[in-house]
Structure 1
């Protein structure tokens, strides 16, 4: 386990858990939290034993309530000499990640927390969780969050959430495509573990190359996409995992993945 002031990381089997550890602040984002998650994502990708990332918040009150507004000047302050914003760079990093990530949402998910939710591949939430984009209530707008959110949820709903700033519940979030599963709070841990189990027994090579391809074709036309993917399946078939998977299937046994 690695423990910083704001973010805790821990390996649990083949899962790499990243926990925002500011429950007294509703796990609000500050520079330390963003840096901690960024560092954790990189550490997870450098560790060959890690097969899946889990992102969550400490306690049962909040997943992440967005930017820390206690010091409002610092929340939206930036160094204008830098071309990139750290939070935006974290979202960029997540989209180029080749290991799958699950959001475990046990409490309120608002504003920048919605961006963290959207940067994962799958999400499980407790049924009492409240979501929202309340930025307009404090005179700003969920600019960076929209870069991911608009690719997941229906435009009419995104418009309503962003323009009114009003909250919505877990069932509405699931219906909009933000969540894979909504469960009672007492079952949240078991459901996340179940989802982890459905990932770690699959080929890590297929998953990593697959995520890379999914990212690559996201903005391609059909003709570009089909040309790219027909070459990618040919390359994938040459990997050790693909050969092992086909051999195990013919021998009616479980495959032994090498990740190569």
Structure 2
């Protein structure tokens, strides 16, 4: 299925959605604008994130894009049309909410990247839990080239790659290739372009083979503990693990292991 993300039914949808066996695929659909993150596209993404957050049947989200580019970042023409401090603050707030919303979803979000991912487009990749790219993909936080330090993309980027590598990208605006992005940890893997769909499908299938309850416990815990002091993180993680042990899936998984059979996941508590 697809969802109309624009207010006008005569316009091409800015965001396409397909659902298949617990996997929701969201496709950025502004190929003529290199999938620049306009206000309308950000609103469409936020609406889908809000809808997915409470979907108990959701197991995985794949974020991809139409055309030759994943995303060229913010829509600069739109930004220049409203030169107001309040407007820019609200725009970047909305963009930050989308990025945080992806991380707050209770299931893994996989970025499937073809072409370039620049500025807020690179931020979008960095905000996903996992990322697989084609081996001809390229990444940059290139706002510095137009006199704008990519401050908000820096938040996500610096949580994926080392501080010196992130700062290098931010102050030079230079592109890194797919192999470098994988080596630096911005993406999990770079594969030949004709194998990208299969690799992402394989990764999603691996996720779907695991306990949905354990995945949801784990994703929430993973990000929360990263902000804690070590002792607090262990206290919190121990509580999460104990609660996970109380799930039917944990009992089933352990019994299946001991009985040398495949587990039959019961789903969410």
> TM-score, with normalisation over the residues of structure 2?
0.91
Give secondary structure in 2 for the equivalent of 1:173: helix
C-alpha separation between the residues in 1 aligned to 2:159 and 2:82? 26
Q: Go from structure 1 to structure 2 and tell me whether the alpha carbon gap of 1:173 and 1:70 turns closer, same or farther (over 3 Å shift).
A: same
C-alpha separation between the residues in 2 aligned to 1:66 and 1:110? 6
Q: In structure 1, which of residues 13, 17, 20 is the aligned counterpart of residue 28 of structure 2?
A: 20
Q: How does 1:110-121 map to 2 (within 5 A)?
A: 110-121=118-129
Q: Is the 8 A contact 2:28 2:64 kept in 1?
A: yes
Q: In structure 2, which of residues 253, 263, 268 is the aligned counterpart of residue 245 of structure 1?
A: 253
Match of 1:150 in 2: 158
Q: Go from structure 1 to structure 2 and tell me whether the alpha carbon gap of 1:75 and 1:104 turns closer, same or farther (over 3 Å shift).
A: farther
C-alpha separation between the residues in 2 aligned to 1:80 and 1:110? 19
Unaligned runs of 5+ in 1: none
Unaligned runs of 5+ in 2: 5-12
Q: Go from structure 1 to structure 2 and tell me whether the alpha carbon gap of 1:42 and 1:203 turns closer, same or farther (over 3 Å shift).
A: same
Give secondary structure in 2 for the equivalent of 1:19: strand
Match of 1:259 in 2: 268
C-alpha separation between the residues in 1 aligned to 2:79 and 2:94? 17
C-alpha separation between the residues in 2 aligned to 1:154 and 1:74? 35
Alignment of 1:87 onto 2:90: no
Alignment of 1:129 onto 2:162: no
Q: Go from structure 1 to structure 2 and tell me whether the alpha carbon gap of 1:74 and 1:238 turns closer, same or farther (over 3 Å shift).
A: farther
Match of 2:74 in 1: 67
Q: How does 1:1-260 map to 2 (within 5 A)?
A: 1-4=1-4, 5-59=13-67, 61-74=68-81, 78-79=86-87, 85-257=93-265, 258-260=267-269
C-alpha separation between the residues in 2 aligned to 1:84 and 1:183? 32
TM-fit CA distance, 1:44: 2.4
Deviates more, 1:27-36 or 1:76-85: 76-85
Q: Is the 8 A contact 2:115 2:138 kept in 1?
A: yes
